[in-house]
């Protein structure tokens, strides 16, 4: 059996392509047309669904909700003009910095 995988970078590129070349009937296009407030509303809704699924539902249902959230966060990044690489760079800059779990400074005060 072949297992299909979609890289987050590839999905982001597809979303960017929808932004540059709108396609009628595309849900991504629908979100960009509605604008930032609609995208933020979806990110909020999908976040809540992840929380509920994490507490109550099976692994497949939880995975589905996390995937929905990931997609909408990528749309939000694209709307704000931020790339996945910028997020990776931010995460890479944190590597090895969180060694204490008590009495440690907030992330902003590193």
Ligand X SMILES: N=c1c2ncn([C@@H]3O[C@H](COP(=O)(O)OP(=O)(O)OP(=O)(O)O)[C@@H](O)[C@H]3O)c2ncn1[C@@H]1O[C@H](COP(=O)(O)O)[C@@H](O)[C@H]1O
Residue number closest to ligand X, CB atom: 28
Stretch that binds ligand X, among 11-19, 53-61, 77-85, 94-102 (CB under 6 A): 11-19
List the one residue from 12, 39, 42, 78 that touches ligand X (CB under 6 A). Answer: 42
Alpha-carbon distance of 8 to 1, in angstroms, equals 22
At 82 the three-state DSSP class reads: coil
Q: Is the dihedral of CA 44, 49, 52, 55 positive or negative?
A: negative
Q: Count of H helices and E strands in the chain? A: 5, 0
Q: Map the footprint of ligand X across residues 52-91, applying CB under 6 A.
A: 68, 71
Binding site for ligand X (CB under 6 A): 11, 14, 18, 26-29, 42, 68, 71
């Amino acid at each position: 059996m072949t297992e299909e995988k979609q890289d987050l970078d590839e999905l982001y590129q597809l979303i960017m392509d929808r932004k540059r070349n709108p396609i009628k009937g595309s849900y991504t296009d629908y979100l960009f047309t509605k604008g930032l407030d609609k995208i933020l509303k979806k990110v909020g809704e999908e976040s809540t669904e992840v929380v509920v699924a994490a507490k109550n539902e099976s692994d497949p249902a939880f995975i589905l909700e996390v995937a929905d959230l990931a997609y909408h966060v990528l749309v939000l990044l694209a709307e704000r003009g931020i790339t996945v690489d910028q997020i990776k760079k931010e995460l890479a800059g944190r590597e090895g910095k969180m060694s204490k779990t008590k009495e440690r400074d907030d992330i902003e005060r590193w």
